[in-house]
A and B are shown apart, each in its own frame.
Chain A
Amino acid sequence: MAEVRGALLKHLRVNTTSLSLLRYPNPTRNGLFTLTVNAIRRSFFDEVMGSFLDKYEVTDRVLCVVKNFQKVDPSKVSPTAHFQKDLGLDSFDTVEAVMALEEEFGFEIPDNEADKISSINYVVEFIASHPQAK
């Protein structure tokens, strides 16, 4: 659900007016187009280069996954929760939660990084700064 919203937002951002306006800006046209010129340029390159996910979207999805975990009390889950201190999870449970998050976002976390993950804050920052997170 959050992915659909994110995909919709990304789609709406790219203006479908032709890019020839960038090349040959017609001075007799409405001044509105010149304002959107830079926006079109930027969003075109954003689509091509990075696909960093939004932080709010990442937080939403991470919280959804953690809430559906069987051993976690859904009411205690918050964006600043610590896996072992706040949510009362074992270190094995943390490993399982990290695996579930890997599957949700569809990318690999290397072993040494996965060991350091101990709170939801860290997870959100890690995923939001990873270019391959889908």
Chain B
Amino acid sequence: MSGATTAAYLARRAAQQERVRILYRRSLKDTLNWAVHRHLFYQDASDLRKKFEANKHVEDLDTIDKMIAAGEAMYDKWRHPDPYIVPWAPGGSKFTRNPVPPSGIEIVYDYGKEVND
């Protein structure tokens, strides 16, 4: 275990931390998809957090890689078929529903007023 503080080790750890963060974020969103009611979601989210925290102190890089792969496999297994997407985000139902009108076009509110008034 000579590579305690080498750059490659740190780079791998940083990459792993990023993967873990993204995995945690996605699994949290998925938990919200499955558990729609907020009190259920809080319960499930704290359970998820405990699972992540239990493996927090592992030091060996290969074990961490395997655990991340296992976590991602579990995420793929539990993905919701109809996730909640914010309506005006790409993939949502209101996306490009009211597009911006082309420039140079103006609505003149003259209410039938004649020019020679």
Give chain A's interface residues, CB within 8 Å of chain B.
Answer: 18-20, 22-24, 44, 48-49, 91-92, 94-96, 98-99, 106-108, 111, 114-115, 132, 134
Q: Which residue of A lies closest to B98 (CB)?
A: A48
Indicate whether B89 reaches chain A with its CB closer than 8 angstroms: yes
Contact: B109 with A20, CB < 8 Å? yes
Number of chain B interface residues as a range: 20 to 34
CA distance A96 to B27 in the complex (A): 11
A18-B110, A20-B109, A106-B88 known; 20 new pairs, CB 8 Å cut-off, are A18-B111, A18-B113, A19-B106, A20-B110, A22-B108, A23-B108, A23-B110, A91-B21, A92-B52, A92-B53, A95-B21, A95-B28, A106-B86, A108-B86, A108-B89, A111-B25, A111-B26, A115-B18, A132-B88, A134-B88
Give chain B's interface residues, CB within 8 Å of chain A.
Answer: 17-18, 21-22, 24-26, 28-29, 45, 49, 52-53, 85-86, 88-89, 100-101, 106-111, 113, 115
Contact: B89 with A115, CB < 8 Å? no
Contact: B85 with A49, CB < 8 Å? no
Contact: B29 with A99, CB < 8 Å? yes
CA distance A18 to B115 in the complex (A): 14
